[in-house]
Amino acid sequence: MIIYNRATLRDKIYACWVGKNIGGTMGGPFEGSEKLLNIEGFTTPEGTVLPNDDLDLQIIWLKALEERGPRAITGQLLGEYWLNFIPPTWNEYGIGKSNLIMGLLPPLSGEYQNYWKNSNGAWIRSEVWACCAPGCPDIAIKYAVEDAMVDHGMAEGTYAEIFTAAIESAAFVCNDIQKLIKIGLSKIPANCRVAQAVRTVVECHAKNMTWKETREKVLNENRDLGWFQAPGNIAFVVIGLLYGNCDFKQSMLIAINCGDDTDCTGATVGALLGIMGGMEAIPQDWRKYIGDNIITVAINRGDTWGCPQTCTELTDRVLRMTPEVLRANYANLALSDGPEDLSEVDLDALCNPDVAKRICARSGWSYEVEFIHSKATVIFEGEPKIAPNGELRGKLSVISCMPDPRNIEFNWILPEGWSVRAPKSVYLRHWYNQLVDRPTIIDFTITAGEQVDSMNRIVVEAKAPGRPTVGYIPVTVLG
């Protein structure tokens, strides 16, 4: 059993939020700069905290955790919270919301027609998952992917949040930045652009290239993606950490001076170094300059009564959720008011890629629906669009969530004039005989009629004889 001292853990979580506020405020005035910068500190008035959506959205995720509990957190649930409590429609936020409104469930909501799915909106909001799963990167990334896929599908923006959630979670038990980077890379596909950008920085640093030379190499390798994209900005965070030797001031200034999404890069550097070193790592003058307040810009305060107003309040509420998240995920950890014992932490084991591989294997053209005894995944071959009299193909993957074998019978409820070719039932094997996460998969082909609307709703009724719960699987097809 790994034992965390509650006071030490609280100090690290508090430093995470204070560090994030410092970085967001310092980098905010320069957001979007395509030029190399040369700032030396704050350019905002003392005592002023700039609003930052990096922090705002995490307040809503905390609200979902508090109201629904750790086991209920899915992309679908977070999508519903998004529609109620997060008004902005810019970039991937707006596209994800529009797709949710059209009936597309995550990760489909973040994949469809989303030219911002490789951008920065997800990895900037990973700290809440890390703080609720300290030292447990595989738990943190499980929540991070549910979050990211709402508006980034299964693209680079999602891989970026998996990376940051992993290193932030591991930072509660590891102060070695090289090892943290190794842990983060173990959780994302080796051939994804985020991983390639991070490896570029690590290699340039090992060759004793300057941080400005490394920045230029990163820019050249990612120029095809354009500005405000996750691979380049994650690389700028890593540049700050490596070339700043994890010194709070030096690392943050280097990351921000790389330009681009400067409030995000500065905020993430500040949050990670806060976790690694606690409040002792944050310079007293910068801490005093920024204060403790949280100023929001991207949440609907009219409907979110009781949201944290300060980093102190946010810390205490996150800390209350931490043991619940650990218990819900059967983590071998506990919080204590006594001595801390991290002797059983195995940093090599934190690099195990097995959980991450299953997570990252998920198709962006899919979504899951659970109905207690079973779980179904709808997987389209591509965009869920159909023309009059046209066809749309996909697969229905079904897995048992209970130990007994059973038949699942399907009844497709379609618009008038539409038809489907698909098996009418499947047999789910005995739980103890089926391999882990090995589902039963059937093919389906939907044929449209003469009338196709802009949004066409299909429902698949899934019944198991002898079971009281009937599953209703929504299938939204766009015209």
Q: Are residues 50 and 25 in contact, defined by beta-carbon separation less than 8 angstroms?
A: yes
Count other C-beta atoms under 10 Å from residue 305's C-beta. 7
Structure tokens at 117: 């799915």
Q: Give the Cα separation of 467 and 469 in Å (integer).
A: 6
Q: How far is CA 124 from CA 86, 211, 222, 271, 294, in A?
A: 15, 22, 19, 10, 16
The tokens for 78 are 């977070």
d(CA 402, CA 191): 36
**CA distances from residue 474 to 109, 235, 332, 343, 457 in whole angstroms, order as listed:** 14, 39, 37, 48, 7
Q: How many residues does the chain have?
A: 479
Q: Residue 257: CB partners within 8 Å, gap ≥ 6?
A: 36, 37, 38, 39
The per-residue pLDDT for range 322-353, each reduced to its tens digit, is 999 999 999 999 999 999 999 999 999 999 99
What residues pair up with 310 in beta bridges, in sequence order? 293
- Structure tokens belonging to residue 457: 């709703």
User: Residue 171 has which token pair?
Assistant: 């930072």
Strand, helix or coil at 301?
A: helix
Position 366, amino acid: S
Least confident of 6-15, 305-314, 469-478: 305-314
Instruction: Tell me: pLDDT of 314 over 60.
Output: yes
End-to-end CA distance of the chain: 54
- Of residues 201, 235, 269, the one with CA closest to residue 27: 269
For residues 405-428, give the mean pLDDT. 96
- Hey, what domains does the chain have and what are their CATH numbers? 2-352 (1.10.4080.10), 365-478 (2.60.40.1230)
Contact 339, 10 (CB under 8 A): no
Res 404: pLDDT: 87
pLDDT exceeds 80 at position 430: no
Residue 435 vs residue 183, higher pLDDT: 183
Q: What is the pLDDT of residue 206?
A: 98
- Cis bond before residue 107 (omega within 30° of 0): yes
**Percent of the chain's residues with pLDDT above 90:** 94
Residue bearing the bigger pLDDT, 439 or 126: 126
Q: Tokens 């749309």 appear where?
A: 392
The pLDDT tens digits of the residues spanning 65-110 come to 999 999 999 999 999 999 999 999 999 999 999 999 999 999 999 9
